[in-house]
């Protein structure tokens, strides 16, 4: 099979057209994907730096979810403390009213008192979030991790809102016939209210701290993702302008190739 011989001008124009088409393909790919660097071949340094930032963003995004769930767990406990505080104050109101009650009234107050005391235990037992209860024992701990360093963690200990001796220490009322018994009950309730106030303060501080860490982590993830984008994302306006310029260059190259071919035909016509 005979080889086709091309003159220097035709070869140069074909080579230029090939390079232009390659640039057009690359630009169109950037426009379609939105990425200036999509593989190590494009820019290995930028690619791996962006990947490192993106991986770290992914790690902290997972921590952000954990912090958010931690906030919900502690908020559940805090709401339980506030609800129990309301019930304890109701118990105190009953105890105070028992001082002036007699006969059937006193019997009814004792019954209400013991029933309300039982409801405190029920409430504390129900205050779980995803299987974790921070208000019905003192052995549970909620550990919230903030980062990739093992020491970046907040440990929140559970409190005991049960009415037993290891909790709020509110005993049931056998009877309120004696003033001394009522006064002893009121003393227990005042102590329980003080304890609940301390629990609420501690849990509230933990919620505030977790919220600060949640806000920081969210902003940090955004910064990491933005940094990765600066290394890899394409400038759409710039790439669009490049595409128009390359297409124009391609048309000029095709015209130049046509002119080069016409010059060969002119030389051929001399021999006809």
211-267 per-position pLDDT tens digit: 999 999 999 999 999 998 888 766 556 656 665 666 776 676 667 666 665 655 555
Q: Per-residue pLDDT for 271 more than 50?
A: no
Q: Tell me the CA end-to-end span of the chain in Å, nearest whole number.
A: 25
Q: Per-residue pLDDT for 199 more than 90?
A: yes
Residue 108 to residue 102: CA distance in whole angstroms: 10
The residue-averaged pLDDT of 103-125 equals 94
* Closest residue by Cα to residue 73 from 132, 30, 26: 132
pTM of the model: 0.74
In terms of phi and psi (left: phi > 0; alpha: psi -120 to 50; beta: otherwise), the region of 116 is: alpha
What percent of the chain stands above pLDDT 90?
A: 58
Q: Per-residue pLDDT for 133 more than 50?
A: yes
Contact 160, 166 (CB under 8 A): yes
Which residues face 136 on adjacent strands?
160
DSSP per-residue codes, 72-119: HHHHHHHHHHHHHHHHHHHHHHHHHHHTT--HHHHHHHHHHHHHHHHH
Residues whose CB is less than 8 angstroms from the CB of residue 223 and which lie 6 or more positions away in sequence, other chains included: none
Q: Which fold has domain 68-203?
A: f41 fragment of flagellin, N-terminal domain (1.20.1330)
Q: Per-residue pLDDT for 195 more than 50?
A: yes
Buried/exposed 53-68: b ≥16 CB within 10 Å, e otherwise:
bbebbeebeebbeebe
Confidence (pLDDT) at 244: 65
Residues whose CB is less than 8 angstroms from the CB of residue 15 and which lie 6 or more positions away in sequence, other chains included: none
Confidence (pLDDT) at 262: 61
β-bridge pairing 141-145 and 153-157: antiparallel
The domain limits of the chain are: 8-34+238-269, 68-203
Q: pLDDT by residue (tens digit) across 75-97? A: 999 999 999 999 999 999 999 99
Residues whose CB is less than 8 angstroms from the CB of residue 155 and which lie 6 or more positions away in sequence, other chains included: 141, 142, 143, 144
């Amino acid at each position: 099979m005979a080889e086709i011989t091309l003159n220097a001008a035709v070869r140069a124009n074909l080579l230029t057209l090939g390079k232009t088409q390659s640039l057009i393909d690359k630009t169109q790919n950037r426009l379609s994907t939105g990425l200036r660097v999509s593989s190590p071949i494009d820019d290995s340094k930028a690619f791996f730096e962006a990947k490192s930032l993106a991986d770290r963003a992914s790690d902290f995004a997972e921590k952000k979810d954990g912090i958010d769930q931690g906030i919900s767990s502690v908020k559940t406990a805090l709401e339980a403390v506030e609800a129990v505080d309301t019930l304890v104050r109701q118990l105190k109101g009953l105890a105070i009213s028992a001082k002036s009650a007699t006969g059937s009234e006193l019997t009814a107050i004792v019954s209400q008192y013991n029933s309300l005391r039982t409801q405190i235990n029920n409430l504390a037992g129900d205050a779980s979030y995803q299987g974790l209860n921070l208000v019905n024992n003192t052995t549970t701990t909620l550990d919230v991790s903030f980062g990739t360093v093992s020491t970046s963690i907040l440990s929140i200990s559970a409190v005991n809102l049960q009415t037993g001796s290891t909790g709020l220490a509110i005993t049931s009322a056998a009877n309120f016939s004696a003033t001394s018994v009522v006064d002893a009950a009121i003393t227990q309730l005042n102590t329980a209210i003080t304890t609940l106030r301390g629990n609420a303060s501690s849990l509230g501080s933990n919620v505030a701290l977790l919220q600060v860490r949640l806000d920081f982590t969210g902003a940090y993830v955004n910064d990491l993702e933005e940094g990765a984008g600066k290394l890899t994302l394409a400038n759409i306006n710039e790439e669009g302008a490049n595409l128009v310029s390359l297409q124009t260059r391609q048309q000029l190259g095709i015209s130049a190739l046509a002119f080069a071919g016409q010059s060969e035909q002119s030389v051929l016509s001399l021999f006809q």
